[in-house]
Chains A and B, each alone.
Chain A
Amino acid sequence: MKKRQAGALALLTAGVMVGMTACAPATPADGETRELLVWDNGLLGRLLENGDPDLENSFLDQMAVAYEEENPGVDVVVVQQGGDFVTATAQFQAAAIAGTGPDIRIQFAGSPTTNFADFFVDLEPLLGAEVLDNLAGVNVNREGFDPSGRLLGMPFGAGNLFTVFQNHEVLAEAGLDPANPPATWEEMIANGQQVVDNTDKNGFWLANLEGFVGAWMVSALVGGELGESAFTSMVAGDIPVDDPAMVKAYETFAAWGASGLTNPDAGQVSNGDSTAGFVNGSSAYYLVGTWENQNMLDAFGEDGVSSFFIPVLEGAAFPNIGAGGPEIALSITEGAEDKELAADFLKFLAQAEIQDLWVELDQRQASNHVDGDSSKIESPLLRAQFEELTGATDGVTFAFDSLMPQATIDLFYRVNASVFLGNLTPEDAVAQLKASYETEIANQ
């Protein structure tokens, strides 16, 4: 009987061993393909309608092919996550915990990168000064935003700015001249009113289901009141989250929501459906960011659309200011099997001529490489935005949701949606954000 028990146990043990061996990751032998798995969420890659990579327009997929050609035996697999970035972040975290995450993840720069410090490796020793010294915006991806902190993401591109696109045809119909964009928020609202009064169009188009529009607008308005370091000071605790400037920005946002000047379904249109709504020509202004440049040009042509930075409130202390900042960060995950290979791919992408290729293809933002070729900027919108940036003598405010702890960012979007609809008062919204910030900071 004991023999039988021992036999059964041996059989069971052998079965478990065989199963575990079968499940274990294979170690590539010499000559085998080395795979690099890259997760993106539409920042550097593009998909066709059918879900296949858009090889003609997708920079990331083109670079994957180019890198494979330069490095025989390497297979770069690009996965587009899909969904909004909050969902994509959750997917990444779950996969990383399960050990099935990517080797490289591309996400928003700032706190969407630094909030996942445990998931990413320090890039400083892997990339070296010869790469990093050539790139602008490196410090926004350092742990704790400390210049000596671990570098959790490689910045890519000069960044985005929150802008208002204007539909020339609708403005002309309303008797407004697009060549004279409004200088203040109040002027823009007055223009929107004129559009509603004189045409059958909406003054503004926005898609605020998730509260992203509120994020851009509040960041711009608070920047105008407190200056470009408004949110870096806030996250450091030097300016309270419930500063009167925050309440003022939210009051303006609530008034905008109640104004009747926007598309009537503004509170229930999702960000993913946003651009499609504006390009149908039913509104004069579209509050979004420079990442929509190409879509705007495709829809309206060079003469049909132009943009200006989100204007700040009348009497703002810092009127010549933009909002936005570094947008894209590439990180190597702790779970990456071949970190050297991942770092080599990042070095490949960081080259000045490679970034120039991206600028040429995407026309969404400039290069952040010191040797970037500005002549690659062909988009009239992007050129105009860069000219406007040179006039932004008060600097650029790095947005609230690029700096705050993740839980506070999530809450930020939600209170934005509620304030716009009048379901939450500006004071309550700011109080909730303050409480969340204090809780999260206390937990760090």
Chain B
Amino acid sequence: MGAASAAPTGGGPRRPGSFRRRDRIIGLLAVLPAFLVVVGFMAFPVAFALYISFTRTNGLTYEWRWFENYIALFNDPIVLQVFLNNITFLISVPLVIFIAVLVSVLLFERVRGWKFFRVIFFLPNVLSVAVIGLMFRNAFGFNGAVNQALGLFGVEPIQFFTNGTTAIAIIILAIVWSGFGIQSLLLLSGLTSINPAVFEAAAIDGAGWWKRLWYITLPNIRRVLGFVFIINVIYTFSALFGFVFVMTAGGPGFDTTTIDYLVYLRAFSATNLGSGAALAVLIFIFIGVLTVIQNRVFALGKED
């Protein structure tokens, strides 16, 4: 009230200093809620996780251990095994992107029934990970639909979840199935931003479907493609918990355990939050480095 009402009226010159100060305060107040949210819900938890990664704690008592948790993790063969599991899960990234590109191009070209398929492909995204996990666990269970179907052809039932390789394959299948729809739509949004005249010109010049895809479509959606690639890689290292928890509980042994699941096991099941936090910090750094590399590879910062 004060500054605004005390300002001269009738078109007189404003005092620049008071104007700037008032704007600054309004600006600060405007960003304050967001600032509090960022500090309270992002910066503080991250800083606290970093702090407890240097301690041995069950959440109630804290004992400073310097780098002991980190050293123990580097010497732990289970951490290496689990990390390699995550690397295996990276197979899902090109798979899901390949299918998403294919679907988005078909939707972009408005194949027959494209509106229907657009809805169908999006449907897995309204299902929770738990539901999708249960669906796949039941379908590929010993007495599940897949084994029943195989039985019709005289194939003996397969124990998909007692072998790490097949169990990971089924989880990857679930990830691809649940993820390609939304990513198709993301890519579709990139496709719709391409100037149609480019396609028309290419068609006039006699470029076929594959040439248009390779020389026009894909280069023009490079940024979206890069974004989708990066979020998929991040997802593979930080968000498979739900699938693993529901489908295999990380087993048999640690054969399908992922890093995020191991963070949970260390932090809560083994009541060692410090070790879990140290693992989370390491994976945070690893994902950060990986993202920077991908950013360079896809040249996301470069102008077209």
Find the A residue at minimum CB distance from B61. Answer: A118
Interface residues contributed by chain A, number (CB under 8 Å): 39
A423 touches B25 (CB 8 A): no
Bound complex: CA A304 to CA B60 (Å): 51
Within 8 A of B (CB), among A409-444: 410, 414-415, 417-418, 421, 423-424, 439, 443
Confirm or deny: B268 has a beta carbon within 8 angstroms of a beta carbon on chain A.
yes
A406 touches B269 (CB 8 A): yes
Q: A264-B142, A267-B252 are in contact. Are A97 and B270 (CB under 8 A)?
A: no
Say yes or no: A423 contacts B253, CB within 8 Å.
Answer: yes
Cross-chain contact A268 with B60 (CB below 8 angstroms): no
Q: Which of B103-135 contact A (CB under 8 A)?
A: none
Flag whether B29 is at the interface (Cβ < 8 A).
yes
Verify A417–B265 contact, CB threshold 8 A: no
Interface secondary structure of A, over-half rule: helix
Question: How far, in angstroms, from A407 to B29 measured CA to CA in the complex?
Answer: 48
CB-CB under 8 A for A410 and B60, given A12-B32, A264-B142:
no
B 134-146 binary contact with A (CB < 8 Å = 1; else 0): 0000000111000
Among residues 262 to 305 in chain A, which have CB atoms less than 8 Å away from a CB atom of chain B? 264-265, 267-270
Chain A residues lying within 8 Å of B265, measured Cβ to Cβ, are 410
CB distance from B34 to the nearest CB of A (A): 14
Residue of A nearest to B143 (CB): A265
Q: Cβ of A384 < 8 Å from any Cβ of B?
A: no
Chain A min CB distance to B49 (Å): 13
Does any Cβ of A come within 8 Å of B254's Cβ?
A: yes
Q: Are A406 and B270 in contact (CB under 8 A)?
A: yes
Interface presence of B180 (CB below 8 A): no
- CB-CB under 8 A for A94 and B1, given A421-B252, A424-B253: no
CB of A277 to closest CB in B, whole Å: 10
Report the contact-size class of chain B (Cβ under 8 Å from the partner). Answer: 35 or more
**A213 CA / B269 CA spacing, docked (Å):** 19
The 8 Å CB contact of B251, one of A1, A210, A407, is A210
Does B294 count as interface, using CB distance less than 8 angstroms? no
Using known A-B contacts A97-B59, A268-B159, determine if residue A89 contacts B269 with beta carbons closer than 8 Å.
Answer: yes
Asked whether, in the complex, the Cβ of A443 is within 8 Å of the Cβ of B56, the reply is yes
Docked Cα-Cα span, A337 to B203, in Å, equals 75
The B1-47 residues at the A interface (CB cut-off 8 A) are 1-3, 18, 21-22, 25, 29, 32
Question: Nearest-CB distance from B163 to chain A (Å)?
Answer: 8
Neighbouring B residues of A439 by C-beta, 8 Å: 72
| CB–CB B251/A417 < 8 A | yes
CB-based nearest A residue for B255: A423
A93 at the interface (CB under 8 A from B): yes
Taking CB atoms and an 8 Å cut-off, the chain B residues in 252-279 that contact chain A are 252-255, 264-266, 268-272
Chain B residues contacting A334 (CB-CB under 8 Å) are 60
Asked if B159 and A407 sit within 8 Å, CB to CB, the answer is: no
B249 near A: Cβ within 8 Å? yes
Report B245 CB to chain A, min CB distance, Å: 8
Interface residues of A in 364-418 (CB under 8 A from B): 406-407, 410, 414-415, 417-418
Q: Write out the residue numbers on chain A whose beta carbons fall within 8 Å of the beta carbon of B61.
A: 118
In chain A, positions 337-369 with a C-beta closer than 8 Å to chain B are: none
In the bound assembly, the distance between CA atoms of A421 and B163 in angstroms comes to 8
Interface window among A3-11, A36-44, A163-171: A3-11
Determine if A126 is an interface residue (Cβ-Cβ < 8 Å): no
Task: Decide: A90 and B2 in contact? CB cutoff 8 A.
Answer: no
- 16 A-B residue pairs with Cβ-Cβ distance under 8 Å, sorted by A, are A1-B21, A1-B22, A4-B2, A86-B269, A89-B268, A119-B60, A264-B142, A265-B143, A268-B142, A268-B161, A410-B269, A414-B254, A415-B253, A417-B251, A417-B252, A423-B164
A-B contact sample (12 more), CB < 8 A, given A210-B251, A211-B251, A421-B252: A1-B3, A89-B269, A90-B269, A118-B61, A209-B161, A265-B142, A265-B143, A265-B157, A267-B252, A407-B272, A423-B253, A423-B255
Which residues of chain A have a CB within 8 Å of any CB of chain B? 1, 3-5, 8, 12, 86, 89-90, 93-94, 96-97, 115-116, 118-119, 209-211, 264-265, 267-270, 334, 406-407, 410, 414-415, 417-418, 421, 423-424, 439, 443
